[in-house]
């Protein structure tokens, strides 16, 4: 069983944020930078060039059709008949590691 302080690769588990049918969401830290589905507090060139600079850097974001991007974070419920685009709000994916699990439910 995982515990706060455990290390998985370059990440240190800080605390549990939530759990569901598919697993547990942890707040983690990597080299002093903490990232969650809500994003990180960070400034600099990468933030200015992110997909949606007005939203938290590193967060899970979505866009419906030609609409404006919005924060998904830990949980976001919405209904649409249009195509949904999901992404991590970043400017350079080549230096990323790790993953988020996203569950999409449709009727």
**The two three-digit tokens of residue 36, written as one number:** 């969650």
pLDDT at 106 over 80: no
Give the pLDDT score at 32: 61
Q: What is the mean pLDDT of the chain?
A: 78
CA distances from 12 to 3, 27, 66 (A): 10, 9, 38
Calculate the dihedral angle through the C-alpha atoms of 37, 4, 16, 61, rounding to the nearest 10 degrees: 0
Give the pLDDT score at 69: 93
Q: Is the dihedral of CA 105, 40, 96, 27 positive or negative?
A: negative
Give the pLDDT score at 68: 93
């Amino acid at each position: 069983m995982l515990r706060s302080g455990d290390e998985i690769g370059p990440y240190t588990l800080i605390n549990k944020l939530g759990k569901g049918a598919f697993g547990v969401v942890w707040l983690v830290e990597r080299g002093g930078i903490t990232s969650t589905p809500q994003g990180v507090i960070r400034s600099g060139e990468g933030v200015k060039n992110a997909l949606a600079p007005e939203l938290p850097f590193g967060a899970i974001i979505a866009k419906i059709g030609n609409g404006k991007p919005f924060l998904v974070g830990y949980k976001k419920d919405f209904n649409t008949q249009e195509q949904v685009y999901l992404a991590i709000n970043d400017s350079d994916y080549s230096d990323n590691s790790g993953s988020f699990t996203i569950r999409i439910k449709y009727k």
